[in-house]
Structure 1
Amino acid sequence: MPFLVGKEVGPTGYGTMRLTWNPQVTPEDVAFETLNKALELGANFWNGGELYGTPDYNSLHLLNKYFTKYPENAEKVVLSIKGGLKVGQLTPDGSEENIRRSVDECLKVLDGKKKVDIFECARQDKNFPVEHTVEVLAKCVKEGKIGGIGLSEVDAETIRRAAKVHTIAAVEVEMSLWSTDILENDIAKACAELNIPVIAYSPLGRGALTGTVTSLADIPEGDFRRYTPRFQEANFEQNKKLINEVKSLASRKGVAPAQVALGWIRSLSEKPGMPTIIPIPGGTTVDKVTQNLVGVKLFSDEELAEVDTILKENAVAGSRY
């Protein structure tokens, strides 16, 4: 996976960035330069995890090295970490034994260089109710191992049930002009009611909304997007209609297509009845990070209405996975 960084400023005052990192794609010195630029521009809520890499080398190892080199930045960063999967697999294991193993392993890798401010299980294990998951993590909070609890890829009912057990610091779900599900399935509504920020991953439609992907041939061999429904030829021909509308709107606003996608999400946060929505766009270089963090303009009511019309007239074809 590539190294990702993104930012939005919500009522907590924190900018946000996500780290899914591969040293073969992004060398450490480039990653550190990107991290420093993100922090300089206000992105001080960082999201990483055990799953971003291998058990022996993942984003937590990068964070250890970064905070070893820049210890003065540790207190400037609010760190959210995903775990709770079986070791070396993308399969959830919600047993108390494994959740505790995951928390302890993350702390071991960080080696005291940075505390875990929020911990979330990357996926909810269907073999265990969310109440069990949150109760285990609440014990870890009480023991001082983690600062708070997040949720990832859960539905509205699960969010409400979890919040009855312990305060939920954030809910991470996919959201973009390419994936507006949370506006229709009560996730946004539940988070607004409970005052829980939404962390919107893939806010650029896995790169589609940047306008740089024009066909399947533009996606490198081995990239998982080659196997996802929305990028398959028949679906992508339909989906390019939305992409072209985003590019057209960006041209009229005098910004990059990515800035339109991010500006739309940020503007939704300003609407009554909506939660704070924090997009996490991708960017492997200082230039890309700067584009994602600077110059993202809020939409007027008229522009939001125009986007609503665009979305209705250009439905996305294909499922997310």
Structure 2
Amino acid sequence: MPQLLGKTIGPTGYGLMGLTWRPEPQEDEESIRAMKASLEAGCNFWNGGEFYGPPERNSLQLLNKYFTKYPEDAEKVVLSIKGVIDIEKLRPDGSPEGVKKSVERCLELLDGKKKIDIFEPARVDKNTPIETTLKALEEYVKAGKIGGISLSEVSANTIHRAVKVTKIVGCEVELSLWATDIFKNGVAAACAEHGIPVIAYSPIGRGILTGEIKKPEDIPKNDMRSHMPRFQGENFEKNLELVQRLEDFAKQRGCTPAQLALSWVRHLSQKNGNPEIIPIPGATKVERILENAKDYPLSGEESATIDSILQSFEVVGERYGGPQAELMEG
């Protein structure tokens, strides 16, 4: 199993946006039960953000409640928090002032209940050199207020620049059976070169790879996926063909489509030249957490079959649209 900051991680991490927040939020106690279940299943890497959820009820406030109830779990969890975002404008602010405001707010919301093991700028501020942002964050590492620094949705060039400034302990990127961009744009190779683990968010394709989303109407009205090109119109219908082929394969090998998707992501770490990869799915229900935690190792033949399916199919539509697309690096 992979290591982060000297702690063993596995078999799966969890994205706290999926565990703790939905457009129509679940009750705090239900979220806390989900978090407890994930830790009991050995899923001890938790990834949150200061902008996950409304200001009065975001992931950091729920983390505070969790560790107030279960203080003994604080040392068991490796906590990664995304920030360096102007909350009012929802734009990156990687300036020294923006870094200070973000980190200090996150520390205040946690109120000492849990240390931030890893802090990562959620997106690159195109108006501030990445070197400036990282040097400001490094001061918090030196002061012992955060344990390490990760990157999120960056280009290979940014990774090469970043490692010259400070130690990078992780790189969070979207990675799933329908989002394999990092193997084409140099990001995976850059992470492997510098020994940086990849934190794979949305490893179940934002839920579509579960097989439970059959039509656009299955997505809640206020859900951000309804604004993503891959989930719209003809794109959705075309991409559903890939989902159906993967569903058939999962059925043949006796696992759920979600388990197949996660096993494939985990299996990537075993391929020569790839970095260590840690998937962080989201799940709001205990039964889903237990489902995701169960690994179904892929044989070489099974992996080759999946690769063949992916090579014969081209996913259509960009990952992000509108203002979110403008925040992505080239």
Q: The TM-score by the shorter chain falls in which range?
A: over 0.9
Q: Matches of residues 1-321 of structure 1 in structure 2 within 5 Å? A: 9-12=1-4, 13-15=8-10, 16-20=13-17, 21-22=20-21, 24-294=24-294, 296-321=295-320
Q: What TM-score do the two structures reach when normalised by structure 2? A: 0.92
User: Secondary structure of the residue that 2:87 maps to in structure 1?
Assistant: coil
Partner deviation per Cα, 1:117-167 (whole Å, 9 max, x = no partner):
111111110011111111111111111211100100101110111011111
User: Secondary structure of the residue that 1:246 maps to in structure 2?
Assistant: helix
Cα pair 1:169 1:197 within 8 Å, conserved:
yes
* Cα offset, 1:11, TM superposition: 3.8
Cα pair 2:16 2:282 within 8 Å, conserved:
no
Cα pair 1:64 1:114 within 8 Å, conserved:
yes
* Cα offset, 1:259, TM superposition: 0.6
User: Secondary structure of the residue that 1:147 maps to in structure 2?
Assistant: strand
Instruction: Provide the rounded CA distance (Å) in 2 between the counterparts of 1:229 and 1:11.
Output: 35
Partner deviation per Cα, 1:72-124 (whole Å, 9 max, x = no partner):
11111111111100023421011101111110111111111111111111111
Partner deviation per Cα, 1:29-84 (whole Å, 9 max, x = no partner):
11111111111111111111101013332100001111011111111111111110
Aligned residues with identical type, % of pairs: 53
Deviates more, 1:85-94 or 1:285-294: 85-94
Cα pair 1:54 1:88 within 8 Å, conserved:
no
| Divergent runs of 4+, >3 A | none
Gaps of 5+ in 1: 1-8
Gaps of 5+ in 2: 321-330
Partner deviation per Cα, 1:232-256 (whole Å, 9 max, x = no partner):
1211121111101110110111000
| Paired residues, number | 312
Q: What TM-score do the two structures reach when normalised by structure 1? A: 0.94
Instruction: Name the amino acid aligned to 1:314.
Output: F
User: Secondary structure of the residue that 2:91 maps to in structure 1?
Assistant: coil
Cα pair 2:211 2:257 within 8 Å, conserved:
yes
Instruction: Name the amino acid aligned to 1:202.
Output: S
Instruction: Provide the rounded CA distance (Å) in 2 between the counterparts of 1:231 and 1:166.
Output: 38
User: Secondary structure of the residue that 2:74 maps to in structure 1?
Assistant: helix
Determine the structure 1 residue equivalent to 2:324.
none
User: Secondary structure of the residue that 1:57 maps to in structure 2?
Assistant: coil
